[in-house]
Amino acid sequence: MPKEWILNSAVNRFQLNFKKNVGAVSEAIRKCSPKNIEEWRNYYFQNVRSKEHIEELGKRLYVKVTEVIQAEVSEITLEDCINYMLQLVIDRTYDGYVTEIQTIYGQLQAELGIKIEPAPDEWDRLFNVDFYIKIAEKYIGLQIKPINKGIQLPEMFKEYALQEKSHQEFTKKFGGKVFYLFSTSVEGKKEIQNKEVIEEIRAEIERLKQL
C-alpha cells in the first residue's frame, strides 16, 4: 500500500496519467466493450497507445520518484515536519474557523441591520455564546454551529442538552434568549442553514425594546 500511494501521487503530480499521455481510456474501453482484460489490453495497444509508449511512461515515473521526489524528500528536516503539523492543526484550522464565523455573523448583521459584537471570552466559557446583540441594557446571545454532512442528530441533541443550562443562565442574567445559527456550505459558500431563526431574532429584539 505505501508503494502504491507513492506511485499514485507521483503519477498525478507529473500528469503521466493524463489524456495527453495515455489517451482517452474511458472512451476507449466503452468503445471496445471488452469481454475480458486480455481483449481490452490488445485493443488498447493497437488503437490507443503502444505498449512501448506505456513502458516509456513507466521509466519516466521511475526517474520522477527516484530522482526528483527523493531529492525533495532529502531536503525535508525534522523542523519542517514539526512546523507543518503545527500549521495544519492550529493555524489553518483557526483561519478556516474565523472565516466561517465572520461570514455567518456578517450575513446575519446585514439581514438584521443591527450591530453584532463578538462575545467576551468569559461569556464563551460560561454561557457558550459566540456573539451578542445589545438592546438597551439587555443582550441576545448567538452561537454559530458548523454543520457537516456526516453529523448525527443524536450528537446535536446531546450537545444542546449540555448547553441548555448555560443558555438559560445567560437569559436569566442578561434578559435575552440565545439562538443557534447553523452554518453549512452551499456551492463552496458558507450560508445560514436555518434562516427561520432570523425572524425569531427580530421578534426577540422587538420584545426587548418593549421592556
Answer for the pair 148, 185: CB distance below 8 angstroms, yes or no. Answer: no
Looking at the structure, tell me whether residues 106 and 203 fall in a common domain.
yes
Looking at the structure, tell me whether residues 116 and 153 fall in a common domain.
yes
Residue 55 lies in a domain: yes
Looking at the structure, tell me whether residues 95 and 20 fall in a common domain.
no
Residue 192 lies in a domain: yes
Specify the pLDDT at position 42.
95
Q: How many domains would you assign to the chain? A: 2
117-118 vs 131-135, strand pairing mode = antiparallel
Q: What is the mean pLDDT of residues 92-111?
A: 79
Q: Is the model's pTM score more than 0.85?
A: no
Looking at the structure, tell me whether residues 59 and 155 fall in a common domain.
no
Specify the pLDDT at position 153.
47
Give the number of other Cβ atoms within 10 Å of residue 76's Cβ. Answer: 10
Looking at the structure, tell me whether residues 146 and 125 fall in a common domain.
yes
Cell numbers standing for residue 127: 454561557
Three-class DSSP labels, 87-111: HHHHHHHHHHHHHHHHHHHHHHHHH
Q: In a 3-state reduction of DSSP, which class is residue 175?
A: strand
Q: Is the pLDDT of residue 150 over 60?
A: no
Residue 200 lies in a domain: yes
Residues counted in the chain: 211
Answer for the pair 179, 201: CB distance below 8 angstroms, yes or no. Answer: yes
Looking at the structure, tell me whether residues 70 and 103 fall in a common domain.
no
Residue 83 lies in a domain: no
Q: Which of 128, 137, 124 is nearest to 167 (CA)?
A: 128
Q: In a 3-state reduction of DSSP, which class is residue 160?
A: helix
Looking at the structure, tell me whether residues 164 and 95 fall in a common domain.
yes
Residue 82 lies in a domain: no
Answer for the pair 169, 99: CB distance below 8 angstroms, yes or no. Answer: no
Burial annotation 151-176 (CB, 10 A radius, 16+ → b, else e): eeeeeeeeeeeebeebbeebbeebbb
Q: Is the pLDDT of residue 195 over 60?
A: yes
Looking at the structure, tell me whether residues 59 and 142 fall in a common domain.
no
Cell numbers standing for residue 79: 523542523
Q: What is the mean pLDDT of residues 84-111?
A: 82
Residue 10 lies in a domain: yes
* Amino acid (one-letter) located at 208: L
Tell which of 75, 100, 133 closes a domain: 75
Specify the pLDDT at position 38.
94
Q: Is the pLDDT of residue 1 over 90?
A: no
Give the domain CATH number at 104: 3.40.1350
Question: What is the residue range of 93's domain?
Answer: 88-209
* Lowest-pLDDT range of 127-131, 181-185, 187-191: 187-191
